[in-house]
Structure formats: structure tokens, C-alpha cells
Amino acid sequence: MLESVVVIDDALPEKLIPSLETYKDIDWYDLEEDHPHKSFCLTVLHLAGQYADLSEAIGYEFWCHNGTKPSWHYDKDEKLFTKEKKLDFPLCSIVYYAEVSKLRGGELILENDLVIVPKTNRLVIFKSGIYHTVKTYKGKRVSFLTNPWSHLLCQ
């Protein structure tokens, strides 16, 4: 269903935007599991489900980049890759830009030379298995990432 990339501006009402004060490190959540950002996560999963088949989703990873810049990577089961060098991908990748200000650089670069400019309240959904990175930047760039999975990750 999801061809490549979907960009949605003005994606969420302000009340759903996660607070950095209640955010913790990357974590796995079952679809029904309660946590401080459940409403946000389920809303972005619902939006993504309009473009990607998430009918098999049983849970999701959720984390934040606040002033950080990942190098080239795939969104994948990191433990499985470390243990067995096997690539296993989520159903799709979802990036939500919660705050972007005074930014120079910081674009999301996808392997097919597609460039996504960060913008506050922008949601980006892209199909699994796409190699991507973030350009070096200055300024404020806070993004929340949600990856839905059809199975549990490697332990």
C-alpha cells in the first residue's frame, strides 16, 4: 500500500505532542500498553495506517531525537542484527517533528535521494527497509519516532 513516502503537515493537535519532560529512552510497547505517550503513538499509528498496512501490528518502538543526528542506517531489529547480522524491518517508519526552530540543515535524507525538510508538526511516513540519515544541522530539531512491528523483537 505505501509506495515510498508520505508527508503530512499540521498533522496533530498541540495537546497530543509529547513532552520531553516525560519522555524516556527508546522502548517497546504493546498496542494496548499504557504509557505517558500512548495517545500520541496510537494517533500517529492511525494516521500511518491510512497509507501503510498496519493490520498485523502487535506493538511499536518509540523514541526521540533531541539535538542528535543519526548516521546512515536502516530502522531494524538492532539486537537481531548485532547477534546474527540479519536485517528485519518494521512495518513502516514514522517520524514526527515536534519542534523545529532556527534550523539550518537537519534534512531527512532517504536512499533514493529524496530530501524531507523538517517542519514543526510535520509527520513523515516511509516504507520499511529504506536507508536514511539526517544532515548535520544547527538549531532546534526535536523528532519522535514510532516503528510498528508485526512481531516481537529479538531479545
| Distances 128 to 15, 20, 36 between C-alpha atoms, Å | 29, 26, 26
* Number of domains within the chain: 1
The reply to whether 145 falls in a domain is: no
* CA gap 139, 39 in Å, rounded: 28
For residue 64, the enclosing domain spans: 5-17+25-134
Contact assessment for residue 54 and residue 91, using Cβ atoms and an 8 Å cutoff: yes
Tell me, yes or no, whether 44 lies in a domain. yes
C-alpha to C-alpha distance for 129 and 109, rounded to whole angstroms: 14
23-37, 107-121, 123-137: least confident range: 23-37
Residue with cell 517533528: 97
Q: What is the pLDDT of residue 14?
A: 87
Phi, psi of 79 (to 5 degrees): -70, -40
For cell 529524496, the residue is 114
Report pTM: 0.95
- Render pLDDT for 34-86 as a digit per residue (tens, 0 to 9): 998 999 999 999 999 999 999 999 999 999 999 999 999 999 999 999 999 99
Does residue 123 belong to any structural domain of this protein?
yes
| 141 in any annotated domain | no
Q: Is residue 54 situated within a structural domain?
A: yes
Residue 121 contacts residue 84 (beta carbons within 8 Å) = no
Domain assignment of residue 100, yes or no:
yes
| Residue 34 domain flag | yes
The verdict on residue 38 lying in a domain is: yes
pLDDT at 30 over 90: yes
Is residue 53 within 8 Å of residue 91, measured between CB atoms? yes
